[in-house]
């Protein structure tokens, strides 16, 4: 079997059955792509559902002819087809082999096998780009708050040389892509249709920018339509191909939460940005935090990097307010300052008695407080220093 034969068979199988079909994936693992294609075309499908799918698709044309045409159209697009035997194949996608979604009953939740091949448009090697990547997903009908957060996270990740991966949709997806582009970084849009008809068309200019500086990626042949189930099929690739996924806003029923469930099922970091409890766009995100014990709350890029970065090198700094002169005071100095009268002066002996510290200690600490500009010495004793703006 040569590489061309293998590639054409994989493309034909993708045309014949939807990506993610487990029965096809297992046959390819056991027999190889060409033999699997021959088996299915000869009526040897191992189950009734697959047999019915193959029979229905054959009414639309010849799989081998469709594959040949797809290769030609791919070349015209300036794109390429990447298969598991290629150097730029993302090995992390192999984790889909162990993806099992608890309680799954729908076809899109059951058929989660790894891709047979991937169409790529853009100059970067796919494996290299996805090696340091984070998915940022969320609601299409995003609020101003969500758009701001997604843009900020996209910018911050790209600014730190991480690839931002999303689905190219309106709302959070587009905001994350634009944030990465504004930082001069690399972003990848994983489509649910052919590379020659990226959806939604309203983001056509955005897709062109991504293709120029990042990558457009799809499991579907050129010309494939953006059918609703394909978005959920696509989401498993977003979850598997990245080091972790961040959810920024999601309604109660949201496709973005499905990406997060797939990330959790594969043991990937699943991160959720909290939102206002009064917003309908926060319901799905907050429910994910409540239901998934492995989901982590994040509020910015530092938290995201702590989850997906190298252990010990990408820790987020603890949240704290601005530094103040009083932060360095020990207990005795703090007690002396707090015991100072709000107005007027006080002698060292009286202040020591009020604070409950020895006079000699009080004198040492008062010198420190004076050096820090917290108290001033006067003829009658010591007084609190006025605020910086009133000095």
Going along the chain from its start, the domains and CATH numbers come out as 1-64 (no CATH), 78-308 (3.40.50.450), 325-390 (1.10.10.10)
Spell out the residues 6+ positions from residue 342 whose beta carbon is closer than 8 angstroms to its own.
384
Average pLDDT over residues 264-292: 96
Joined together, the tokens standing for residue 157 give: 């990740």
Joined together, the tokens standing for residue 81 give: 């087809």
Spell out the residues 6+ positions from residue 48 whose beta carbon is closer than 8 angstroms to its own.
none
Joined together, the tokens standing for residue 54 give: 């193959």
Quote the pLDDT of residue 380: 81
pLDDT tens by residue, 136-176: 999 999 999 999 999 999 999 999 999 999 999 999 999 99
Above 70 in pLDDT, residue 320? no
pLDDT grade for 342, boundaries at 50, 70 and 90? confident
339 to each of 306, 333, 358, how far by Cα in Å? Answer: 42, 10, 14
The pLDDT mean for the chain works out to 93
Coarse DSSP helix, strand, coil percentages of the chain, rounded to the nearest 5 percent: 50, 10, 35
pLDDT tens by residue, 183-231: 999 999 999 999 999 999 999 999 999 999 999 999 999 999 999 999 9
Above 70 in pLDDT, residue 316? no
The phi and psi torsions of 341 (rounded to 5 degrees) equal -65, 145
User: Residues 172, 173, 174, 180: is their CA dihedral positive or negative?
Assistant: positive
Radius of gyration of the chain (CA): 30
């Amino acid at each position: 079997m040569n590489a061309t034969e293998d590639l054409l068979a994989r493309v034909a199988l993708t045309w014949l059955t939807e990506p993610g079909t487990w029965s096809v994936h297992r046959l390819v693992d056991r027999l190889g792509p060409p033999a699997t294609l021959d088996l299915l075309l000869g009526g040897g499908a191992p189950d009734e559902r697959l047999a019915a799918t193959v029979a229905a698709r054959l009414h639309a044309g010849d799989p081998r002819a469709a594959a040949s045409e797809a290769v030609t159209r791919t070349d015209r697009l300036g794109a390429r087809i990447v298969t598991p035997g290629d150097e730029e194949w993302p090995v992390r996608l192999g984790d889909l082999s162990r993806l099992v979604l608890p309680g799954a009953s729908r076809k899109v939740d059951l058929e989660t096998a790894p891709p047979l091949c991937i169409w790529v448009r853009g100059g970067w090697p796919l494996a290299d780009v996805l090696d340091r990547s984070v998915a940022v997903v969320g609601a299409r009908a995003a609020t101003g708050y969500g758009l701001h957060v997604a843009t900020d996270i996209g910018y911050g990740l790209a600014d730190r040389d991480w690839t931002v991966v999303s689905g190219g949709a309106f709302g959070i997806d587009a905001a994350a892509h634009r944030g990465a582009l504004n930082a001069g970084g690399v972003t990848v849009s994983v489509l649910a249709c052919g590379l020659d008809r990226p959806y939604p068309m309203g983001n056509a200019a955005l897709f062109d920018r991504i293709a120029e500086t990042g990558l457009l990626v799809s499991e579907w042949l050129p010309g494939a339509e953006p059918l609703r189930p394909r978005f959920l099929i696509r989401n498993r690739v977003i979850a598997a191909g990245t080091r972790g996924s961040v959810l920024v806003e999601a309604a109660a029923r949201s496709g973005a939460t499905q990406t997060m469930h797939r990330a959790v099922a594969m043991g990937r970091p699943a991160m959720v940005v909290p939102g206002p409890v009064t917003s309908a766009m926060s319901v799905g995100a907050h429910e994910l935090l409540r239901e998934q014990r492995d989901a982590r709350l994040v509020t910015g890029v530092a938290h995201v990097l702590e989850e997906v970065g190298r252990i010990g090198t990408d820790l987020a700094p603890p949240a704290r307010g601005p530094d103040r002169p009083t932060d360095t005071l020990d207990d005795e100095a703090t007690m002396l300052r707090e015991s100072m009268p709000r107005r007027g002066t006080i002698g060292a002996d009286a202040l020591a008695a009020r604070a409950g510290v020895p006079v000699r200690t009080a004198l040492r600490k008062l010198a420190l407080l004076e050096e820090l500009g917290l108290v001033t010495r006067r003829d009658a004793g010591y007084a609190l220093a006025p605020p910086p703006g009133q000095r």
